[in-house]
Structures are given as structure tokens and as C-alpha cells.
């Protein structure tokens, strides 16, 4: 699969937009002076949503792009996998 839009990207974008809305809500919670416990819990939820989107993107890339690349040259795939690993 070539670089650019992958089949998983629309779902990831949807997930990130939801996280963006959630983050906006958390900012409102700060302005409303909500408790630190509530804020930490909601920030954790936003962080988890973003981490999940990142993980899905990387896994999709490994499954599709690197598999396709490995058929053409394992050395390039291994180098790219090493670069991706730092984001896991």
C-alpha cells in the first residue's frame, strides 16, 4: 500500500475528532474550576484516546505497508519498523 490515505485513516480521524471535543470539554472543566481528581481522570481519558489512535495507525501501517514493503526488500522494512517502534 502506498503512503497517504489508508483504509484505517477515516476511523482514526473520527477518533481524534472525538478526543479533540473531549479535550475542549476538559478545558471548560478547568475554567469551571472542577476538582483536580475530575480533571486528571478526564485528561487520562483524552490521553488514552490519542494513544489508542496512534497505536491503531502504527499497527495498520505495520500490517499493510511494511508487509508490502517486505516483499520488495526486507532491509527497508526493518529500518522503518525500528523507526516506528520508538512511538509505541
Residue 64 counted as domain residue: yes
Cα-based distances in Å from 59 to 23, 43, 78 = 25, 24, 15
- Per residue in 10-47, pLDDT (tens digit) is 999 999 999 999 999 999 999 999 999 999 999 999 99
Domain assignment present for residue 32? The answer is yes
Q: Are 77 and 70 in contact (CB under 8 A)?
A: yes
Residue 45 lies in domain: 9-85
CA pair distance 13, 41, nearest whole angstrom: 23
Quick: pLDDT tens for 57-79. 988 888 877 666 656 666 677 77
Q: Is residue 21 part of a domain?
A: yes
What is the DSSP track for 13-52?
A: HHHHHHHHHHHHHHHHHHHTT--HHHHHHHHHHHHHHHHH
Residue 1 within any structural domain of the chain? no
Q: How many domains does the chain have?
A: 1
Instruction: Name the DSSP letter for residue 65.
Output: I
For residue 62, tell me if it sits in a domain. yes
Give yes or no for a contact between 66 and 81, defined as CB atoms under 8 angstroms apart: yes
Amino acid at each position: 500500500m502506498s503512503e497517504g490515505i489508508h483504509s484505517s485513516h477515516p476511523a482514526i480521524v473520527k477518533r481524534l475528532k472525538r478526543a479533540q471535543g473531549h479535550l475542549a470539554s476538559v478545558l471548560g472543566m478547568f475554567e469551571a474550576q472542577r476538582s483536580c481528581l475530575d480533571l486528571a481522570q478526564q485528561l487520562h481519558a483524552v490521553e488514552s484516546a490519542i494513544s489508542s489512535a496512534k497505536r491503531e495507525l502504527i499497527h495498520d501501517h505495520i500490517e499493510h505497508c511494511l508487509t508490502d514493503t517486505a516483499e520488495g526488500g526486507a532491509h527497508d522494512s526493518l529500518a522503518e519498523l525500528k523507526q516506528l517502534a520508538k512511538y509505541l
